[in-house]
Every structure is written in structure tokens, then in C-alpha cells.
């Protein structure tokens, strides 16, 4: 990876715009406030997700009495994929762009969306009511191996997110564009890095985090099954949006690069990724 990498160039442009913003006190204040809120909530969401799953969803702050906790936990599981998917729809994106009053709602849309997603994930993992049942708790060598696998899946997720465009995934694109008074520019269709091998590395990496845990409970199993199913099915809608946006380039890419199972023995994905970038 070099400074000529388009992803690096994009980040450098955003950082320069953020470091040397044009004048406009109210705009700058709004951008910095949204950025701070976004990244603090984003960090809380990621940290709560990592900790909760590390303990197999056996440690959380939910206190709904049983059996009503079953319904509460089910609602927490469903609210993320349902709202998340809706806000990515054509109607949903318009709603997100109007959530911040004034002329900057559209520019801040990616930041607003990231805040909503982070709040949803924080609610899921902080408000979950544990069942209190522990099926398995790894110890000794097994604990060390599973912890290593758990860390590896999160690093894989981080890598996939960067390959897809870190500024979009983290919500930074919106507030940094507003701060620099520039139009938000979305990354090109991702075909580099992990996207050379599979079309949906973010969803695959997230699914892997659900299973590489050292503590197993009914809670973790319910979460793993439901969200693994979501990770398998939800990208189909994403690919429909990509086909509309990128047309022939995406169809050519889709024909040669596998959906979720890589084919490392073949050079086809790399060739397809290069062809997809050609006009």
C-alpha cells in the first residue's frame, strides 16, 4: 500500500480539508460536534460489542424479567437489521438527510447514519438481558487459541472496513466534508484488498466474530444464528444498489468474484477486480 493508493489519497484529501477548513464558525462547530458525537458513540458500540460477545452475551445491563426478556432480546436483535436496511433504501436515505435541520443535512448524512447504527448496536449489546445459562467456558490452551481467533476476526473486520472506505464506514466522510466545505465523495466500487477474493468481506468478517468466542450461552447462539443469517442475506439488497450505481462494472465484477467463499487458488478474482475498474 502506497501514497498513490486511491484510498490513501481520499483520506489525505479529507484530512487536509479538516485541518484547514474555510471560515464559517457555525458550520465548523456543527461539523466538529457531529464528528465528536459520531466517533464517541461508534467507539462505545464497538467496545460493547467486543466485550459482550467475548463473554457470550452473559454480561450486560438488561434487567427485563423472564420470560419477557425473550421478547425484549428478540426486539433488540431485530431492530438493527430492520432499521439499518431501511435507512439504506432510497426512502431511508432521504429521511437520514433531513434529520439534521438546515442546509447541511445531506452533507452530514453518512455521519448521521453512522450515529444511528452505533446507537442501535450499543442498545443491542448494553441492554441485552442475559439468560444466566453458561454452556461452555474455554480454559487453558483452548482459551488462548479462541482469543487469538477472536482477535483475528476483528482485525479482519477492520481490514475489510478499510478496503471498503474507512471514512464511510466510520461516519467521518460527512463531518470532515462539512468541515472542509467540500462535497462528500463516496469511494469507488471496492475491488481491492479483501474485495479481490470475495464480494462481501465486511459481512463475512462480522459473521466470523460471532462464532470465535470463548464463552457459549443460549444468548450467544441466538445472536450468532440470527446475525449470520442476516450477513448471508442482507448483501443481496446491497448488490442490487451497486448494480444500479455501477452498472456493467459491477456485473463484470460479480461474475468473476465469489459472494462469500473465496477461491484463493485462482487468479480470476484479481483479474476481475482489475477489469471492473476499467471503463
pLDDT digit string, tens, across residues 237-253 = 888 888 888 899 999 99
pLDDT of residue 267: 53
- Does residue 274 register a pLDDT over 60? no
Taking residues 91-105, what's their average pLDDT?
89
List of residues 6+ apart from 64 with CB closer than 8 A: 72, 73, 129
Does the global pTM surpass 0.75?
A: yes
Mean pLDDT over the full length of the chain: 87
Does residue 24 contact residue 100 with C-beta atoms inside 8 Å?
A: no
End-to-end CA distance of the chain: 23
> Which region among 61-65, 179-183, 224-228 has the lowest average model confidence (pLDDT)?
179-183
Confidence band for 273, pLDDT divided at 50, 70 and 90 = low
* Total Cβ atoms within 10 A of residue 234: 17
Q: What is the pLDDT of residue 25?
A: 72
Residue extents of the structural domains in the chain:
6-276
Report the pLDDT value the prediction gives residue 244, as an integer from 0 to 100.
Answer: 86
pLDDT-derived band at 136, boundaries 50, 70, 90: very high
Amino acid at each position: 500500500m502506497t501514497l498513490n493508493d486511491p484510498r490513501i489519497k481520499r483520506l489525505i484529501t479529507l484530512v487536509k480539508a479538516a485541518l484547514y477548513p474555510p471560515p464559517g464558525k457555525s458550520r465548523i462547530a456543527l461539523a466538529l460536534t457531529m464528528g465528536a458525537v459520531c466517533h464517541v458513540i461508534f467507539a462505545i458500540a464497538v467496545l460493547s460489542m467486543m466485550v459482550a460477545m467475548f463473554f457470550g452475551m452473559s454480561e450486560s445491563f438488561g434487567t427485563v424479567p423472564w420470560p419477557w426478556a425473550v421478547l425484549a432480546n428478540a426486539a433488540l436483535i431485530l431492530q438493527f437489521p430492520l432499521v439499518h436496511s431501511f435507512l439504506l433504501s432510497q426512502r431511508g436515505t432521504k429521511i437520514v438527510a433531513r434529520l439534521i435541520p438546515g442546509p447541511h443535512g445531506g452533507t452530514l448524512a453518512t455521519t448521521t447514519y453512522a450515529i444511528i447504527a452505533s446507537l442501535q448496536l450499543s442498545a443491542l449489546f448494553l441492554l441485552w438481558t442475559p439468560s444466566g445459562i453458561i454452556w461452555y467456558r474455554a480454559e487453558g490452551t483452548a482459551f488462548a487459541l479462541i482469543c487469538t481467533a477472536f482477535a483475528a476476526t476483528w482485525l479482519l473486520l477492520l481490514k475489510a472496513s478499510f478496503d471498503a472506505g474507512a471514512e464511510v464506514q466510520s461516519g467521518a466522510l460527512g463531518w470532515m466534508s462539512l468541515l472542509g466545505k467540500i462535497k462528500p465523495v463516496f469511494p469507488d466500487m471496492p475491488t481491492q484488498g479483501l474485495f479481490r477474493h470475495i464480494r462481501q468481506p465486511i459481512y463475512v468478517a462480522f459473521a466470523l466474530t460471532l462464532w470465535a468466542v470463548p464463552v457459549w450461552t443460549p444468548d450467544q447462539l441466538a445472536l450468532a444464528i440470527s446475525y449470520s443469517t442476516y450477513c448471508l442475506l442482507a448483501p443481496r439488497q446491497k448488490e442490487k444498489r451497486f448494480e444500479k450505481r455501477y452498472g456493467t462494472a459491477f456485473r463484470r465484477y460479480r461474475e468473476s468474484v465469489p459472494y462469500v467463499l473465496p477461491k484463493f487458488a485462482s487468479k480470476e478474482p484479481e483479474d476481475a477486480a482489475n477489469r471492473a475498474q476499467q471503463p
